[in-house]
Amino acid sequence: MTPHMKRRARTAMALGGGIAATALVLAGCSGSPDAAETPDEPVALRMTVWTADETQLAMFQEIADAYVADNPELVSEVSFEPIPFEDYTTTLTTQLAGGNAPDLGWILESYAPEFVSSGALADITDTLKETEGYDYDDLVESSLALWQQDDRLYAYPFSNSPFAMFVNTDQVAAAGQPNPADLVASGDWTYDAARDISAAAAQSSGKQGLVVRDFDYRVWENLASIWGGWGAAPWSADGSECTLTDPEMVDALTWIHDAAFVDKAMPGPGVTADFFAGDAAMTITQISRASALDDSFAWDIVPLPAGPESQQNVIGQAGIGVFANAEHPEIAADFLAYFTAPENAEKLATYFPPPRESLLNAETLAAANPRLSEEQLQAVVVDGIQGAITKPAHVNFAKLQDAVRAELDALWVADADVEAVLTSTCEAIAPLLEG
């Protein structure tokens, strides 16, 4: 990177005209500030994050300290505030509503439409485009969709982490089952094959089979990594109609239900199993979890299986936004441009697959991810981002998430009537979709 990413000459950013009253409880935040001039004295910036990983935080701080060194007249320090993932969005929106807005923050993809449409985020389009060396056109257009409104960008999707299948090949081999990598090569890697292998491995090892990490019969949206193979979705593309009762979703959730309660291929409610501790034969999770692997068992990582409809890649995204009611949004946006410029994006790629076309190649990613081979990275990350869908997102997601979770509780029993439960769920969430 050049010694300093040239800032625009105090060009006013387009900011949202006030914070809307949304399901995120952002009501009460004041309107957008004027474009910032050079401050009387350097300011301190704060970014909220949900990682507490010391290595990741050290990398962020190294980049931030370099920015401070290049811009002593603007910024005295940049700090990163870890908030536990399970409390993250609630804590962040409380800060926004309470007048304690961070300057920047991570945003989960499911809440992207709420944050973007509410006016909570500053428009960062011009800042990124006009920063020397930023190469805005290198950003993969499809990765920006959730974070845009009227062709303006309101957050940078710094993490585009594909879901993949991690495999404990020791347990699979001990059960006399075929290696999933061989099934990928032969075109026979399907969800039915994964179910059968997982059930056999669980019976052989006395442990668990297939775990959808972080699902735990509560975080239902993580099941998108399975139902995508059926071509299913919880609501229509425009978010106005419930599609949980469509045949594709009924079939997908029937498969999931039976995998747990009939085939014993998935752990049932209340059963905790950590693949990375050797407690399960397979797990569906994001590629960024690879850092949790050690040498205690032999493992592999393969793409998501195919369902009856097709093989569907699924990614989890996270964006970094500048908050419109923070004290110094223009300076915060300038830092964001520095933090995510090509050279720093390559550093961040160690943990977070970037949205930059130039960095989405196995050779670059392998340098940042030594535990994974170039072949694995090509199949799971580079190819996994192409044509991918994200987990469910909606402008009213916070309320929908709770409503769907409550209704689906009736699904997670052995004798559940899947279609009846999904019909009831659609009836419950219809007013939220219409709103």
Taking each helix axis as running N to C, give the angle between helix 397-408 and helix 418-434, from 0 to 180 degrees, rounded to the nearest 10. Answer: 160
Q: Distance between CA 353 and CA 350 in Å, rounded?
A: 8
Q: For tokens 């996994």, what's the residue?
A: 384
Q: For 338-356, write each residue's pLDDT tens digit.
A: 999 999 999 998 888 899 9
Q: Distance between CA 117 and CA 154 in Å, rounded?
A: 10
How confident is the model at residue 247, as a pLDDT? Answer: 98
Q: Name the band, by pLDDT with cuts 50, 70 and 90, for residue 434.
A: confident
Measuring CA to CA, how many Å separate 29 from each of 106, 114, 244, 303?
A: 19, 15, 35, 43
CA 293-50-157 angle, 5° bins: 90
Answer whether residue 104 shows pLDDT above 80: yes
Answer whether residue 27 shows pLDDT above 80: no
Answer whether residue 5 shows pLDDT above 50: no
Domain 43-161+316-385, classified CATH 3.40.190.10, yes or no: yes
How confident is the model at residue 161, as a pLDDT? Answer: 86
Q: Name the band, by pLDDT with cuts 50, 70 and 90, for residue 325.
A: very high
Across the range 405-430, mean pLDDT stands at 98
Per-residue tokens: 80: 């990163």
Answer whether residue 170 shows pLDDT above 50: yes
* Closest to 135 in 3D by CA, of 5, 315, 47, 323: 5
Answer whether residue 32 shows pLDDT above 60: no
Answer whether residue 251 shows pLDDT above 60: yes
- How many whole angstroms from its chain centre is CA 34? 32
Q: Distance between CA 144 and CA 131 in Å, rounded?
A: 18
Across the range 76-85, mean pLDDT stands at 96
Q: Distance between CA 242 and CA 236 in Å, rounded?
A: 6
Q: Which residues of 208-237 are buried (b: 16+ CB within 10 A; e: fewer)?
A: bbbbbbbbebeebbbbbbbbbbbbbbbbee
* Contact criterion met (CB below 8 Å) for 396 and 112: no
Q: For tokens 């009253």, what's the residue?
A: 21
- Listed range (17-26, 68-77, 174-183) with the worst mean pLDDT: 17-26
Per-residue tokens: 68: 């401070």
Chain length of the chain: 435
Q: Where are the domains of the chain?
A: 43-161+316-385
What is residue 411's three-state secondary structure?
Answer: helix
If you ran DSSP here, which 8-state letter would residue 231 be given?
Answer: T
Beta pairing, strands 148-149 & 156-168: unpaired
71: part of which helix (H) or strand (E)? none
